[in-house]
Structure 1
């Protein structure tokens, strides 16, 4: 067997081991990836904690892990708690609307160019007893299930998500504790595969992209939720805290916030509070305009040195391809692509013979 054949066989053997390891751990790859993103995003905080605890990695890792869990889990817990409190009332509202019909609001008549047609359609469908079920019966939402089936499915889903969250934070603790050793090993492997200069160029871009994306999406989304939540409270929106939590979560995704404050404005309009509905819609558009046109481009684009259109394509493409985790993976992929683009432009090109 020649040396090249041995190298090829060794590469195939290594690839087989990697694929087998991924196959065995595939159930936990997603929470593991979340732990990696959180670790990269909060690594400067861990370095400060390490200095506070005088170089004890276990204490520093435990403290930052607990802090991260409190920061990320508390808003989620508040939203779930508020949703659980409002679930019976919402279920009763839906059941009543389906059983007795939901009367069309009178303000539909005042909508120019089609308001009367919308009113008649509403009365013929949703306004009739069991009209809501008939309207949805052709879609998946219309496949009615009893309460025990719904609770069983929801409970199973929540249990799986809870396991994923716990596993992610356990991994986060070990990433903090062993992060320096992992970084050295990763740098050595990357330098061996693609060269030290190229590896250092790319490895420096990834943490910057992750931190900028987390700051630009999560922190800005939470700020939008808080600002609009204050507006919901002033406008007298029912369950304002729950709607604020929903707005903050949807605001993490670009153009997701309009779904939330649009639904709130529609709810106020249905209740007859037209002025409050208009005020919420205007406030939402102002907050969204400032966040998406000034704050996010500054926080993400300036840090990653990407045009915002590339950031936007990375975010939306990542969500479409990978789901929620794609919010953070997509901009990293675009950062690496743009880095490669600029690197290739700097490479010398062969001179064509004349």
Structure 2
């Protein structure tokens, strides 16, 4: 008896099968992301660093010494990123440990005898009597009995130390997994880049692949603008600290550079240094440092950074600013780089729709 071949599926059955396959794939992808959710920050940071360094990777790969040696390139770049992060932290920790004993002695003396009213308080143009009265009531007496210090109990300090330790351990683990992921990305090299672009063209078409390239350009431009401008502000203000006589000028310049990588955060550092100079009685030095810092930050934030980021991403300055600040508020520090990429997507979609 001859068996007839099965009848082809109807159009409705094919649509139902496609829908079921898409739903199954979506569920599996979401389940996989949920399983690796603790490692997603490390993957995101590794992707940002890899995108930012991809032109350098390609330039190194074209050199005859590194031709077809992706493992060597991945090793060199990964070690460079690790040293770039670890060395400043190590130097800061060493200097902080050197100052810890003096800080402990000062805190112990303040707890027993209080902190005398600084001389500059009497020279304030206004509010000197109110500030002096508050200082005498809260800080000039032994801090053990001061009402301003009543919430600083040993339990609170221990809890703060425990939370800080947990956060530091989590950040260290994220950094370690980020380095491993970064090494794997660099080792895959052009093969990974080609696979991603072919997948984007197959899934979203030519426009989707171009949009992905523009997002990568936005991330690269944001990293360049934030890091380069931050380092520039740190170097210039570091020289200002050194010339004015602020102690630990190199360390403070490094802290300023790191803070300047986030828009409008550098003033917190140099204003704190200016306040320290004012407390020490160096009014002219404090004014000069504050003015120099404001000029450097104004030029960097309103002229240099918008040009570096906006010209590469073809975004207006306002969208760049909203993307950086909104991304940081939504996704944390990694959102500084994700925000402008999302603003780029929004701009491209708007232009395509308007046309």
Q: TM-score, normalised by structure 2?
A: 0.88
- Cα 1:150–1:321 shift into 2, 3 Å: closer
Structure 2 residue aligned with 1:7, among 15, 18, 22?
18
Cα distance change on mapping 1:133 and 1:298 into 2, 3 Å? farther
1:61 pairs with 2:71: no
After TM superposition, give the deviation of residue 133 of structure 1 in Å: 6.4
Residue pairs, 1:158-237, within 5 angstroms: 158-194=168-204, 196-237=205-246
> Over alpha carbons, which structure has the higher Rg?
2
**Partner residue in 1 for 2:89:** 76
In structure 1, the residue matched to 2:124 is 111
Q: 1:324 aligns with which of 333, 341, 351?
A: 333
Q: Distance in 2 between matches of 1:324 and 1:12?
A: 33
- Higher mean displacement: 149-158 or 221-230: 149-158
* Residue equivalent to 1:19: 30
Count of aligned positions:
342
Q: Deviations over 1:176-230 (max 9, x none)?
A: 1113233233223322332x22212211211211111111111211221122122
Preserved contact between residue 187 and residue 199 of structure 1 (Cα < 8 Å) = no
- 5+ residue gaps, structure 1, are 347-354
| CA drift at 1:76 | 3.2
Larger mean Cα displacement after TM superposition, 273-282 or 258-267 = 273-282
Structure 2 regions of 5+ residues with no counterpart? 1-11
88-97 vs 289-298, greater mean Cα deviation? 88-97
- Are residues 209 and 175 of structure 1, via their aligned partners in 2, closer, same or farther at CA, if it must alter by over 3 Å? same
> 1-side partners of 2:352 and 2:94: how far apart?
50
In structure 2, the residue matched to 1:352 is none
Partner of 1:47: 58
Partner SS state of residue 42, structure 1: helix
CA RMSD in angstroms comes to 2.3
Does the 8 A contact of 1:126 with 1:132 survive in 2? no
Conserved? CA contact 2:143–2:149, under 8 Å:
no
Which whole-Å CA distance do the structure 2 matches of 1:263 and 1:81 have between them? 22
CA contact (8 A) 2:138 2:146 kept: no
CA contact (8 A) 1:268 1:277 kept: yes
* 1:97 pairs with 2:117: no
Shift in CA distance, 12/275, structure 1 to aligned 2, threshold 3 Å:
same
